[in-house]
Amino acid sequence: MTFWLSAWLAAAPAWGLYPAEPRAGASASEFTVGEFGSLLQRFVDALHQKAFRHLGDERDFDHGHLLFGPRHNRPVAILYHTQELAHYLSGSKDFGYLDPGGRNWIQWIDGGGIEKADSYERISYPPTAHWAWFQERELPDLRRHHTILDKMLDPDRLGTPIARTRQWVFSKVACGQAREAPEAEISIRLPDGASRLGRGRDREMERGIQEIGQGDDRQIRPAQRVHQQSAGLA
């Protein structure tokens, strides 16, 4: 079975006080769609039917957050969220929880190693008004959803503060739908077939550092997801 995935990138600053300072002329494009595809394939090989069931479906697994250090032009890791809407679909055998403790994953860019993000979560938060608000108003709900956001990762445990993130969204496109050719493709092979990932155009989604909570994946609504389409193939 082959199905199509379309993908696009969105940029957003992470929660923190560390400005990103890439060298002149550098851009996030230095991390290529081919590299992302290779890492995603490794993740799929390791965790399909363990951490997720449906690749490219927003109800389960359709995005990864590229995590950049203060002076890194390439991401240091990817934060994945799976079983995305399982909290709301607990009665569904297809989209209910497969493993509530397996929703959050870190994949290292160098070497492609995969670990549960729980090991890198903050134990405590800085004693500021912003973080106090976050702990009171947002953290309890995130706990109920078994969600770890990038700002919840401990810089010391991670080995670097997270200065900015780029979210790579990959969405399934219906076979036979009229489509315009994507800029690039990645084939992701599942146990029962292959998926093709088309790299979409960059889309900027700016969020101010002080806008606490705006990094929550639930802010990325389906209407904001842009499907780059390609013709004649399914």
- Tens digit of pLDDT for each residue in 161-176? 999 999 988 876 555 5
Give CA separation, 16 vs 43, 70, 190, 212, in Å. 28, 10, 37, 10
**How many helices, marked H, and strands, marked E, lie in the chain?**
4, 8
Q: What is the DSSP string of 120-165?
A: GB-SS--SSHHHHHHHHHTHHHHHHTT---GGGB-HHHHTS---EE
Domain boundaries, the chain: 2-224
User: Each residue of 122-180: pLDDT tens digit?
Assistant: 999 999 999 999 999 999 999 999 999 999 999 999 999 999 999 988 876 555 554 55
Q: Kindly indicate the confidence band of residue 196, based on its pLDDT and cuts at 50, 70 and 90.
A: low
8 Å CB contact between 71 and 21: yes
Q: Which pLDDT value is given to residue 198?
A: 54
**Is residue 174 exposed (0-12), middle (13-18) or buried (19+ Cβ within 10 Å)?**
exposed
Buried-exposed string 28-63: b where 16+ CB fall within 10 A, e elsewhere: beebebeebbebbbebbeebbeebbbbbbbbbbbbb
Q: Which pLDDT value is given to residue 169?
A: 86
Which residues partner with 6 through β-bridges?
Answer: 171, 198
Please give the structure tokens belonging to residue 100: 């509530």
8 Å CB contact between 146 and 103: yes
pTM exceeds 0.75 for this model = no
Residue 215 has pLDDT above 90, yes or no: no
User: Each residue of 27-86: pLDDT tens digit?
Assistant: 544 788 889 989 999 999 999 999 999 998 999 999 999 999 998 789 999 999 999 998
Q: Kindly indicate the confidence band of residue 8, based on its pLDDT and cuts at 50, 70 and 90.
A: low
